[in-house]
């Protein structure tokens, strides 16, 4: 595409791509599907992408600059990829914006619900995960423990650690 030649490159592009890739990889841990009961469907994968992104974005937004700038770059990368995936799946150009709107609303709503549940209580977190990730099926208590472990690791990590080492997601198979 010719217009891409004139686009300013984001100096954080490689870092944003790495963070995005690690979020996607964390959401694809087999144990989350096989042991926790997340459905291996497009919706289930989206829910896990949203969950893992929300954990990382929550921490990046709480840090000093360039944490919030990186968080916005990661959100942009996530939705660029989701848009491309919809088009690759054959969704028409007229329908893509409508589907993207629904996905953005779901992403923001579930991220807000996770944040609220984390600030409320472990029981609220379990209930939120049961509703928003597991659709009432699966092991919500175990998923809650996994999320709490991930959140604790992220909260203990500095910006330097988050930008220079792999993101501190827990190994779902070990919880």
Predicted pLDDT of residue 7: 58
Between CA 72 and CA 36 the distance in angstroms is 30
Residues 2/145, Cβ–Cβ less than 8 Å: no
* Domain spans, the chain: 11-169
Return per-residue pLDDT of the chain as tens, 175 residues. 455 555 566 789 999 999 999 999 999 999 999 999 999 999 999 999 999 999 999 999 999 999 999 999 999 999 999 999 898 888 888 889 999 999 999 999 999 999 999 999 999 999 999 999 999 999 999 999 999 999 999 999 999 999 999 999 999 999 9
Question: What's the predicted TM-score (pTM) here?
Answer: 0.92
Predicted pLDDT of residue 1: 47
Between CA 138 and CA 155 the distance in angstroms is 27
Residues 144/129, Cβ–Cβ less than 8 Å: yes
Predicted pLDDT of residue 45: 96
Q: 132-151 burial, b if ≥16 CB within 10 A, otherwise e? A: bbbeeebbbebbbbbbbbbb
Predicted pLDDT of residue 91: 85
Phi, psi of 110 (to 5 degrees): -70, -35
């Amino acid at each position: 595409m010719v217009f891409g030649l004139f686009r300013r490159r984001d100096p954080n592009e490689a870092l944003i791509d790495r963070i995005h890739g690690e979020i996607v990889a964390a959401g694809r841990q087999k144990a989350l599907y096989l042991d926790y009961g997340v459905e291996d469907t497009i919706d289930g994968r989206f829910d896990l992408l949203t969950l893992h992104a929300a954990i990382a974005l929550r921490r990046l937004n709480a840090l000093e600059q360039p944490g919030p700038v990186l968080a916005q770059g990661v959100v942009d990368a996530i939705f660029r990829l989701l848009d491309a995936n919809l088009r690759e799946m054959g969704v028409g150009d007229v329908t893509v914006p409508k589907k993207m709107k629904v996905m953005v609303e779901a992403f923001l709503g579930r991220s807000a619900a996770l944040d609220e549940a984390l600030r409320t209580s472990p029981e609220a977190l379990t209930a939120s995960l049961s509703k928003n990730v597991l659709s009432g099926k699966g092991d919500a208590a175990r998923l809650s423990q996994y999320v709490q472990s991930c959140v604790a690791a992220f909260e203990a990590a500095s910006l330097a650690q988050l930008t220079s080492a792999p993101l501190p997601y827990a190994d779902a198979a070990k919880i």
